[in-house]
Amino acid sequence: MKVRWIPEQGALANSYIFGTVLVDAGVFPMAIQPYKDEIDTIVLTHCHFDHIAHVKEIAHMCKAKIAIHRDDAGGLIDDGKSLSMQFGARSPGIVPDIVLSDGDTIGGLLVIHTPGHTPGSISLWSEQDKVLISGDTVFTDGAFGRYDFPGGSRQALAKSLDRLAPLNVEGLYPGHGEPVDCGGKRHIAAAQQLMKGGYG
């Protein structure tokens, strides 16, 4: 299945559409409006404000349910966990409709718990399509997400990269920067080596 990229806007993160799922909702609602009748679920890769800024409005517009990992659900109401104050804003103040755990499947995507950037960070994997939507766990330039925010952990992030590395990823769709449609596995391996080399 094709992944549709909705590019990041300013300080806000990328969003992606996979089937009937919108992954992350930082982008302005008008960027999602053309697809509103296709979307029935919004999956948030983690609770940072740049990924959830407009989730409330987009969910209402699309009549969509909101899903997030259980360990990051509190960030939808907690300004400290969401880092919203750094953006001069407040958390959406909502409770998710669906609380996710490692190994769940949603909209044809496998939920892989990849903590480190936040306690409840997830990556979404389609083995059939060889597609990984990675949030801020790993990027296409061979880098990885920051772990110096509240709840972050270098050790946990290293383990998450080790978990993703064996996957036969072609399309890698990160929270920031440009996605790639092929060779994604190489980018993950580069991030894994960067981490093991002591970078950051």
Q: Determine the Cα–Cα distance for residues 75 and 88; give it in Å rounded to an integer.
A: 16
pLDDT at 200 over 90: no
Architecture, CATH, for domain 3-196: 4-Layer Sandwich (3.60)
* pLDDT tens-digit map of 136-192: 999 999 999 999 999 999 999 999 999 999 999 999 999 999 999 999 999 999 999
pTM value surpassing 0.85: yes
* pLDDT tens-digit map of 75-105: 999 999 999 988 888 999 999 999 999 999 9
Report yes or no: 68 and 43 within 8 Å, Cβ to Cβ. Answer: yes
Specify the pLDDT at position 9.
85
Q: Determine the Cα–Cα distance for residues 54 and 20; give it in Å rounded to an integer.
A: 18
Domain ranges of the chain: 3-196
Of the candidates 123, 144, 142, the one whose C-alpha atom is nearest the C-alpha of residue 134 is 123
